[in-house]
Amino acid sequence: MKRVAVLGASPDHSKFGNKSVRAHVQAGWEVYPVNPRAEPVEGLTAYRSLAEVPVPVERISVYLPPPVSLELLPEIAAKGAQEVWFNPGAADAAVLERARELGVPAIDSCSIVDLGLSPSMFP
């Protein structure tokens, strides 16, 4: 089973970080929500930081504002995921440039759509 860490996961159903958790679960992924408050998300244990996620992940899906994404890039790089999705609004030119410098396999697109799903499926 593939594993994904969702940075910016939220217990709030209106937030895309929550929709991503639900979409990845529906698509058969093992999901690790990451949020500094570490509240459970959709019944899943949440982690305060990506470094606390206890297993390797194939994918990191980012739902954070660009300044926060930029700040977390060293931690993202250290996790060694095969792909890092910067969902709409999570990256700007500075984030993508720094990601390239760090060797992060950055994808500037929607990870939910990549699953063959639509965020609108998750009200």
Is pLDDT larger for residue 96 or for residue 1? 96
Question: What per-residue confidence (pLDDT) applies to 107?
Answer: 98
For residue 38, give the CATH number of its domain: 3.40.50.720
- Please name the helix (run of DSSP H) or strand (run of DSSP E) that holds residue 7, with its range, or none: strand 3-7
Alpha-carbon gap, residue 98 to 88, rounded angstroms: 17
pLDDT at 38: 85
Summarize the confidence of residues 83-112 as an average pLDDT: 98
pTM of the shown model: 0.96
What does the alpha-carbon distance between residue 58 and residue 79 come to, in Å, rounded to a whole number? 9
Q: What is the mean pLDDT of residues 22-41?
A: 96
Q: Is residue 122 part of a domain?
A: no
> Do residues 7 and 61 make contact, with C-beta atoms less than 8 angstroms apart?
yes
Angle, CA of 105, 71 and 39, to the nearest 5°: 95
The contacts of residue 115 (CB under 8 Å, 6+ apart) are 23, 24, 26, 27
Mean pLDDT of 82-93: 98
pLDDT at 10 over 90: yes
Give the range of the structural domain holding residue 90, as residue numbers without chain letter. 3-117
Domain count, the chain: 1
